[in-house]
Amino acid sequence: MQSAESRFIELAAPGVRTLEPYRPGKPVTELEREYGVRDAIKLASNENPFGPSPQAVAAANAAMQAVARYPDGGGHELVARLAQRHDSAPDSITLGNGSNDVLDLVARVFLTPGLEAIYSQYAFAVYPIAVQATGAEARVAAAHDGSRGPAYGHDLAAMRALVSDRTRVIFIANPNNPTGTWLPGAALRDFVAALPAHVLVVVDEAYFEYVDAPGYPDTSRWLGEFPNLIVTRTFSKAYGLAGLRVGYALSHPAVAGLLNRVRQPFNVNLIAQAAAVAALDDTAHLDHCVRRNRTGMGQLVAGFTRLRLPYIESAGNFVAVDVGRPGQEVYQALLQEGVIVRPVANYAMPNHLRITVGSDAENRRFLAAFEKVLA
Ligand SMILES: Cc1ncc(COP(=O)(O)O)c(C=O)c1O
């Protein structure tokens, strides 16, 4: 007799049958329970170790009083503030339950079986999931091998070569997770400008606020010129609101109109909307987090250099380091020390670990544990 499991798998949509679920980083509480350690630290999910703006926390607390009501489904105040910030029209903004949500909306709106999406090898793991779930075909462009561009980085020429009549969406993470690699403005602009009109390009700028690399573009400024461009941003990283889930897309209003057709009406909750509005006001907190991230990144890469471990230069709040042996083993050993990092074998980077930049104390604690387990 057929098991219930195989019966339900057969009943699932074709794209979902073979889908590998996204594996989030291990929560601190789970590690403490499993290993009996105390004061564990987590440098595994590219969160902000300095937390959100106190103003955002105050706004969230105040919003608690109103949770008997549904949130504003249109997110009008947040949308208005974002429109002001980006000098764009409110109808060009689509709010998401994290930027993940908007990536998924793009896939659902523009992809069906028989169509194709393109992304790079080593690109953020949500793209394959979003594409495959629609039944569309994913075309994966080989990343740079280091000869013509930064190793592990997106190769725009290889991505362009995969464009066909069936292509509808290209996902570009700038910078990319887990590699931290980024694309300069001139090359990315030429790429977007040369795309045929039937191809939409999503530039995922989840780590935008952290980047100070020369030539790194703010692609939201190109929206007036390229109607097929979609830019995604999030409050999960530099704004420190990952747990509240707020992200958004900027696009041509006609694209936003389509995304809003499939968006759940209350996808960004009332507390999250209030916190995000307040977070936008606190530029001093944002600057503080970005500055400290820079210092922390310096601390980590100095440690890797001391340990003679190659790492991929990163523009984000995380860095992938080559441990010269299966990363999973080092990950496990670090868990014993109460330190959670992220193995990236699922990205076909079996010898790398991705380390999120923590606070000064967390970085020191990680480096001490790292040195110990590698000895
Ligand atoms: C490149 C990239 N894009 C998007 C996201 C999604 O973040 P969120 O859904 O929290 O906005 C992440 C999260 O890690 C990411 O690394």
Q: What is the pLDDT of residue 43?
A: 98
- The whole-angstrom separation of Cα 165 and Cα 347 is 28
* Contact yes or no for 48/240 (Cβ under 8 A): yes
pLDDT digits (tens, 9 = 90+) for 76-134: 999 999 999 999 999 999 999 999 999 999 999 999 999 999 999 999 999 999 999 99
* Contact yes or no for 169/107 (Cβ under 8 A): yes
d(CA 330, ligand 1 centre) in Å:
25
Closest ligand 1 atom, residue 124 Cα: 1
68: CB partners within 8 A, 6+ apart: none
pTM listed for this prediction: 0.96
- The whole-angstrom separation of Cα 15 and Cα 121 is 20
∠ CA 149-151-157, nearest 5°, is 45
Q: How confident is the model at residue 20 (pLDDT cuts 50, 70, 90)?
A: confident
* Mean pLDDT, residues 122-148: 97
Q: Determine what percent of the chain is predicted with pLDDT higher than 90.
A: 91
- The whole-angstrom separation of Cα 297 and Cα 356 is 9
* Mean pLDDT, residues 250-264: 97
99, 317, 355: which to mutate for ligand 1, most atoms within 8 A of CB?
99
- The whole-angstrom separation of Cα 134 and Cα 14 is 8
- The whole-angstrom separation of Cα 116 and Cα 65 is 46
Q: How confident is the model at residue 36 (pLDDT cuts 50, 70, 90)?
A: confident
d(CA 278, ligand 1 centre) in Å:
21
Q: What is the pLDDT of residue 308?
A: 98
* Contact yes or no for 258/94 (Cβ under 8 A): no
- The whole-angstrom separation of Cα 161 and Cα 335 is 42
Q: What is the pLDDT of residue 35?
A: 85
- Which tokens go with 344? 């990236």
Closest ligand 1 atom, residue 99 Cα: 11
d(CA 68, ligand 1 centre) in Å:
29
Q: What is the pLDDT of residue 41?
A: 96
Ligand 1 contacts (CB < 6 A) are 46, 98-100, 124, 173, 177, 204, 206, 234, 236, 242, 247
pLDDT digits (tens, 9 = 90+) for 188-235: 999 999 999 999 999 999 999 999 999 999 999 999 999 999 999 999
- Which tokens go with 261? 């057709």
Helix (H, G, I), strand (E, B) or coil at 348: coil
Q: What is the pLDDT of residue 182?
A: 98
- The whole-angstrom separation of Cα 345 and Cα 348 is 5
Q: What is the pLDDT of residue 257?
A: 98
Closest ligand 1 atom, residue 236 Cα: 10
Q: What is the pLDDT of residue 80?
A: 98
* Mean pLDDT, residues 351-375: 98
- The whole-angstrom separation of Cα 352 and Cα 328 is 9
d(CA 81, ligand 1 centre) in Å:
21
Closest ligand 1 atom, residue 247 Cα: 11
124, 154, 171: which to mutate for ligand 1, most atoms within 8 A of CB?
124
Nearest CA to ligand 1 atom 1: 177
Nearest CA to ligand 1 atom 3: 206
Helical H segments across the chain, by residue range: 4-11, 14-17, 28-35, 54-63, 76-86, 99-110, 126-134, 156-161, 185-193, 253-262, 270-281, 283-306, 327-336, 360-374
With 90 as the cut, is the pLDDT of residue 336 above it?
A: yes
With 90 as the cut, is the pLDDT of residue 23 above it?
A: no
Residue 32: is it exposed, middle or buried by C-beta count within 10 angstroms (0-12/13-18/19+)? middle
